[in-house]
Structure 1
Amino acid sequence: MKKKLRLTALLLTLTMSCSLLAGCGANKAPSDSVPEAPADSGSAAPAEESSSGERTLLADGNTYASGLPIVNEKVTFRIARGKNPLDSSTDTNEKPIMKLMEEATNIHIEWIDIPTGEGQKEQLSILLSTDMPDAFMGMVDPSDIMKDYASFVPLNDMMEQYAPNIKETYDKTNGEALKMLTYPDGNIYSFMSSVYTQHKSWTIGVQFINKDWLDRVGKDIPTNLDEYYEVLKAFKEMDANGNGDPNDEIPLGYCENNFQARLLQFMGAFGFNDNYRIENGKVIPTANTPEYRQFLEYYHRLASEGLLDIEGFSQTDQQFMSKAKQGLYGSFYAWTPDTIIDDPELSDQYVQVLPMTAPGLEGKETVYGTKDRFMGIINGLVITSSCKNPEALVRWYDYMASSVELKQTARIGEKGVMWEMKDNKIYELQDQGPDFNFQNACYTYGLMQACPVLLYPDEMAWDDPETSPQNYARDGYVTAVEKWIQDEGLMPSRIATEEATLSKAVYEPDLLSYIKNFTANAIMNGVTDASWEQHVADLEKYRYSEWIQWQQDYLDGKF
């Protein structure tokens, strides 16, 4: 990074809601302005004082009811968080927001970083059963809480008393946020994080192809899967990268551990993007359909001819991006090319591929996602019964949401380095030279999805082509595929009843694991009539029809 990351003494005079994006970036419509708040201590309300002028302490004799610092004598909390592969930080407390938070609140955090991806659930289970921290940022599912309510702290009353910034944000949803957070026993056990909604995240991965390779092999951008096969075959056989070695190209890159490059992105040409699809309010199964088999057969053909990177089933996100950075891939899915390729000369070679059609399924193609979908993460902060002072931890989390400067610093990093404010509008500083990867820096110097509260569309950064070229490009990519994104592509976000949640938790992990393993085996080794018939039977063994009915009942609001 050309600019030295420095910690500025942010004493906070600006207010209300800015948080994180699902992918690093901004909103389609720019913010008109960022509201100002009265200059104060940075807390939403001044500290309560007794008649003698002393601040009010809670029952523990160390925690203040309001104002800063939050505690008199320094305290330490243990918090477990999911660490994204793009986060190259070695100490979460070295992130600018954490230095500011500890200085202002007098609270120290001992972080337990759990890498996202394969193995995270197992590590989470160990913590839940043997080494419960004071809190979790993300990772904990509603079913984890419902299995043992006593292990988690209800936050209803504490939100009213000690989280004025969070409460104000939720109030803007006219009660919808609280409905999404309320468990069947009537309590709230988590605070939200992430962004309320944003145009850039209506879908996840966008498909790209190397235009220089296309020109070198004499092909146009493909419009259907038959043309795509011929392009990938040419990439494999015709020294598409032009280095004299016809054997070092990987025509199609893929990575199950990269959220934007998973197999569900590849399914769209066949009319679905998951193990079910939603059409006119009906949940329709896909994993037992002829279209699913057609999807498997197409990608098995690519795999068997060396056109698909079959290491994608097991390779890490870092390995996937390493190959992309070496220019080995002819085509892939990504947020934008420059989020996985640092070299601008190389990333500029990739152009967008619009949704392609599969033979016999013309007009059925779709893109993963939902228009105007709610994107908040309901398990942003979950406090456990191991926490001896939940009031202080609630105040700590709420403090991050007390000003624009804090929220942006929590989200992506330091003001003046990662973002700036001009005329009460926020601009992200993405263009910092060829050696700077903005998305990697967002995860390394910020908390991204773990940033508290909800960031609303009118509080997002401008998509300025000069300061934020990645945002600007991403918005264009999503606009280009907008007509293929469904109005009801994904499930709504809310907590189901305890009975329904726990009943599904009994069989869902085994069902999804089976589908994942069968899909990988079929793509690598092929599918026959016999193996397909066995697959359809095995789906019922793993209660697939019951799972589909559960999704339908959930969509219908029956629980």
Structure 2
Amino acid sequence: MRLRKAVSLAVTAAMVFSLAACGSGGGNTGESAAVNTGQTANESVQAEKTYDGIFDENGISKPGEFPISKEPITLSIFVGQQAGVVDITKHSIFKEVSELTNINFDFIVAPQEGAQDKLNMLLASGDYPDIIIGSFFTNADLVKYGTGENILIPLNDLIEENCVNLKQRWEENPQFKDMMTTPDGNIYGIPSLDSGGLGHGAVNYKVWMNNKWLENVGMKAPETTDEFRAVLEAFKEQDANGNGDPNDEIPFSGAIGTWAAEVYPYLLNAFDYFDPSNGYLKLKDGVITGTAGTDGIKEGLKYIAGLYADGLIDPAALTQDESQLSAIGTKEEVICGTAACGHIGMFVDINDIERSREYDNLLPLEGPDGYRGIPTQTVAVVQGAAFVITDKCKYPEAAIKFADMFCGDDWTIRTQVGIKGQQWDDADEGTVGMDGVTPATRKYLEMRTQNATAAEDIKWHWTMRLIEPNWKKTFQVTGDIADPSNYEARLQQCTDKLAPYAADADYIPPFFLDVEDANQIASMKTAIDDYVKSSFIEFITGAKDVDKDWDTYLAGLDKLQYKEYVALNQKAYDEAYK
């Protein structure tokens, strides 16, 4: 299959978790904005620079040199306040960055829940900041706000002239540059990539079950939907936690608004292919189909509704956030036997080794018709953008150098692990990383998840993550796999065992759309996503009857132009890959 030159491999407009975008008043020229020179962007980039020490005539440092600016400068910045991170405006990481770079930050902060709406209002009003960081924009948004509205400036020349770490990531993965390039030939933002590749995120939908509870009720880990129901019934009706009270157990819980913690995606995949992160789409043999209204999904919802009606699913799972799920999992007494979440540290404290050890992820379940599969990402892709520069920015060279810091080892590890000598240190001699081959260069002194460090000024987690080097493989793995220092290796093992059950579907490769189609798909996607989620909750809770109200649900999808939405994605795929 050919790849149209104008199309990047970055992410389909339907993808849910794309990140922030950027653009310029320079339109489709591919030129970067000049820095206080009065020159055009292209003239500024191409001009031979002269340096006084490490600084050019504008007081900006050579690539990779610090401080970034000779004199203090200020960048206005939009950022979402993550629930598991202390006040971002006072965070030590920003303080350290300012001290190193001579860049101060004027914050526009919105709680993560609602931050997207706040940002949309700012972009519509024209009162937006210099840079935007965080998971807010899809590929469709990059085209809309970059190519279409010229709010986001092209970064091509800025990256070429100023970035050291990002260009190194491109050398390691040449396809990433193509994935970041929109149909007009411009790059409007830097996407996010966790530790250089797939990792345990290759499979989103995991369910974790307490093996000690299984022993207490005399059962084995379920592999079919019937067995899963039987286990949950035993958890509910017997004294599964062994405290003498058979009525205090929660069989199955989860959360919303976080990574892969809804209770239904894993279960629906025992009936048919279902991946919300793909925008309710499936690709097989070059054909894209919709997944939100299949007969298999209907049967799956009836099954889940039955679990809910019988008290086997925690009602709070449909409304609570990750911190509330974690509060259940970290109670002094174990009260929940099963939880849906992307990794077990979202539910229990991994430093409580004995409790953490009790939970293992289940294999995908086989449904009554024999279907068994789990959506699996098989190739590393980058999508959307986690960092953008707008046409308001007076210091784009300084801004791109700031971003480049987070494409290298030092600041990736600082933001995701912590400080050397406190959270990590040099590896012990002769140790290897999680692949069992690569010599280790670092070791964890402590490993705690986002919930466990929410009140501490150490890491900032997903506040901003850009294209990272594969830093996780550099940390040593020794001893007990349940030890927190081996957590990443444990998660990789938990993911690897799911590989034989990868769904019989092709991973939807990323593609960009033209402005008109991008705007249309973005609007349709939001409406469809809201409708499907709310309808599924109504079916699960019994507010609507799956059999009686299914045709009405399908009619609602038609009203939202679901078929046209699928066709638009097929059109874009065909133009890119056929």
Normalising by the smaller structure, the TM-score range is: 0.7 to 0.9
Q: What is the alpha-carbon distance in structure 1 between the residues aligned to residue 461 and residue 388 of structure 2?
A: 17
1:211 is aligned with what amino acid? Answer: N
Structure 1 residues 441 and 228, CA gap change in structure 2 (3 angstroms): same
Contact 1:169/1:453 (8 A) holds in 2: no
**What is the match of residue 8 of structure 1?**
none
- SS of equivalent to 1:272: coil
Correspondence for 2:310 among 305, 312, 337? 305
Listed one character per residue, the Cα deviations across residues 111-145 of structure 1 (whole Å, up to 9, x for unaligned) are 444444x4332122233234412111131334444
Q: Which structure 2 residues correspond to residues 35-434 of structure 1 after superposition, within 5 A?
A: 50=51, 53=52, 56-58=55-57, 61-64=58-61, 66=63, 67-87=65-85, 89-95=86-92, 97-116=93-112, 118-130=113-125, 131-138=127-134, 139-148=136-145, 149-174=149-174, 176-195=175-194, 196-262=196-262, 263-274=264-275, 275-326=280-331, 327-342=334-349, 343-360=352-369, 362=370, 364-374=371-381, 376-401=382-407, 404-422=409-427, 425-429=440-444, 431=446
Q: Which moved more, 1:439-448 or 1:190-199?
A: 439-448
Q: What is the alpha-carbon distance in structure 2 between the residues aligned to residue 190 and residue 241 of structure 1?
A: 49
**What is the match of residue 9 of structure 1?**
none
Q: What is the alpha-carbon distance in structure 2 between the residues aligned to residue 121 and residue 499 of structure 1?
A: 21
- SS of equivalent to 1:499: helix
Structure 1 residues 347 and 86, CA gap change in structure 2 (3 angstroms): same
- 1:400 Cα deviation (Å)? 4.1
Q: Please tell me whether residue 534 in structure 1 is matched to residue 552 in structure 2.
A: yes
- SS of equivalent to 2:289: strand
Listed one character per residue, the Cα deviations across residues 347-371 of structure 1 (whole Å, up to 9, x for unaligned) are 22223321111112x1x21113212
Q: What is the alpha-carbon distance in structure 2 between the residues aligned to residue 377 and residue 92 of structure 1?
A: 27
Q: What is the alpha-carbon distance in structure 1 between the residues aligned to residue 109 and residue 239 of structure 2?
A: 43
Structure 1 residues 480 and 501, CA gap change in structure 2 (3 angstroms): same
Q: What is the alpha-carbon distance in structure 2 between the residues aligned to residue 339 and residue 534 of structure 1?
A: 36
Q: Which structure 2 residues correspond to residues 12-23 of structure 1 after superposition, within 5 A?
A: none
Contact 2:222/2:362 (8 A) holds in 1: yes
2:68 is aligned with what amino acid? Answer: I
Structure 1 residues 495 and 331, CA gap change in structure 2 (3 angstroms): same
Give me the TM-score of the superposition, normalised by structure 2: 0.79
Contact 1:370/1:486 (8 A) holds in 2: no
Where structure 2 has 5 or more consecutive residues not aligned to the other structure, the ranges are 1-16, 18-47, 430-438
Contact 2:440/2:476 (8 A) holds in 1: no
Q: What is the alpha-carbon distance in structure 2 between the residues aligned to residue 368 and residue 92 of structure 1?
A: 38
Contact 1:212/1:349 (8 A) holds in 2: yes
- 1:258 Cα deviation (Å)? 2.7
Contact 2:326/2:346 (8 A) holds in 1: no
Q: Which moved more, 1:293-302 or 1:331-340?
A: 331-340
- SS of equivalent to 1:63: coil
1:304 is aligned with what amino acid? Answer: A
- 1:212 Cα deviation (Å)? 2.1
Structure 1 residues 344 and 205, CA gap change in structure 2 (3 angstroms): farther
Q: Which moved more, 1:272-281 or 1:245-254?
A: 272-281
Q: What is the alpha-carbon distance in structure 2 between the residues aligned to residue 409 and residue 349 of structure 1?
A: 31
Q: What is the alpha-carbon distance in structure 2 between the residues aligned to residue 91 and residue 388 of structure 1?
A: 23
**What is the match of residue 521 of structure 1?**
538
Contact 1:407/1:451 (8 A) holds in 2: no
1:247 is aligned with what amino acid? Answer: N
Contact 1:202/1:370 (8 A) holds in 2: yes
Q: What is the alpha-carbon distance in structure 2 between the residues aligned to residue 492 and residue 124 of structure 1?
A: 27
Q: What is the alpha-carbon distance in structure 1 between the residues aligned to residue 474 and residue 503 of structure 2?
A: 26
Where structure 1 has 5 or more consecutive residues not aligned to the other structure, the ranges are 1-21, 23-46
Give me the TM-score of the superposition, normalised by structure 1: 0.81
Q: What is the alpha-carbon distance in structure 1 between the residues aligned to residue 378 and residue 176 of structure 2?
A: 19
Contact 1:79/1:136 (8 A) holds in 2: yes
2:105 is aligned with what amino acid? Answer: I
Listed one character per residue, the Cα deviations across residues 41-78 of structure 1 (whole Å, up to 9, x for unaligned) are xxxxxx9755xx555534xx443455332222211212
Listed one character per residue, the Cα deviations across residues 350-395 of structure 1 (whole Å, up to 9, x for unaligned) are 23321111112x1x21113212332x35312101122221121112
- 1:514 Cα deviation (Å)? 1.1
- 1:469 Cα deviation (Å)? 1.9
Structure 1 residues 400 and 225, CA gap change in structure 2 (3 angstroms): closer
- 1:463 Cα deviation (Å)? 5.6
- SS of equivalent to 2:566: helix
How many residue pairs align between the two structures? 499
- 1:444 Cα deviation (Å)? 5.9
